[in-house]
Amino acid sequence: MFSDLDLYFFSRVLHIIAVVFWIGGVAFVTCVLIPALKDFSHTQDKMVLFETLEGKFAKQAKISTITAGVSGFYMLYFLQAWSRYSMIEYWWLHLMTLVWAVFSVVLFVFEPLFLHRWFLQSAQRDCDKAFKRLHIMHIFLLTISIIAIAGALLGSHGYL
């Protein structure tokens, strides 16, 4: 029915679409949502809107990170490329995997265990400070994600 090569290319397409949805969402939250919410003067309105919009994105992010992880590991398996993790010239593969691992741990472990509660408690004490911390964290995560994407595009096309 489908050849291994067909599955590889399908995995590559799924991988790219998943990354676009996932990191595109992170870019929206970082560059649009959080800055817009900083302008809200009423803490309750800010928190309700953030919880509503971020909650919707969290579902998309979880599906996207799972899809990116499964498709990425399948591509490594198909190409028998595990040895690339021992080569410094594939730094972008290390970074891409690290970014995926960090987001996965945050989304599936830290967020449900304590991050969500910690953010709500922090916002109740000092909402502006909590959103500033959240924004700094998102800027950092978006920055390393963009570096990983740029490195992966350049590296997978032979430029690095």
CB contact at 8 A, 62 and 100: no
Exposure class string for 8-17: b at 16+ Cβ within 10 A, else e: beebbebbee
> H-helix or E-strand containing 3?
none
Confidence bin at 160 (pLDDT 50/70/90): low
User: 42-50: long-range contacts (C-beta < 8 A, 24 or more apart)?
Assistant: 43/123, 43/127, 46/127, 46/131, 47/120, 47/123, 47/127
Task: Give the model's pLDDT for residue 144.
Answer: 97
Task: Give the model's pLDDT for residue 112.
Answer: 93
- The vertex-24 CA angle with 152 and 86, nearest 5°, equals 25
Q: Render pLDDT for 35-49 as a digit per residue (tens, 0 to 9).
A: 999 888 787 888 888
Q: Is 65 a residue whose pLDDT tops 80?
A: yes
Q: What pTM does this model have?
A: 0.90
How many percent of the chain have pLDDT more than 90?
Answer: 79
Name the residue among 146, 151, 121 with its Cα closest to residue 20.
146
Q: What tokens were used for 156?
A: 């997978």
